[in-house]
Amino acid sequence: MGDATSPPLGRDATVVFLLSLGVLMVEVSLTRRLSYSISYHFA
């Protein structure tokens, strides 16, 4: 019924995937920086 205005499902899945990948990359980079700074502090 409202198919003319809604984007296709593949586009939604791509957007969710890219957002999830970006958040995961930020979490990994912050974890690496914090673990390095903590190990450098206690060394």
Report DSSP letters for the chain, one per residue: --TTTSPPHHHHHHHHHHHHHHHHHHHHHHHHHHHHHHHHHH-
So what's the pLDDT on residue 26? 97
pLDDT at 38: 82
Task: Report the pLDDT value the prediction gives residue 35, as an integer from 0 to 100.
Answer: 87
Domain residue extents for the chain:
10-43
Residue 6: what pLDDT?
A: 62
- Reading the chain (43 residues) residue by residue, the pLDDT tens digits are 555 666 667 889 999 999 999 999 999 999 998 888 888 777 6
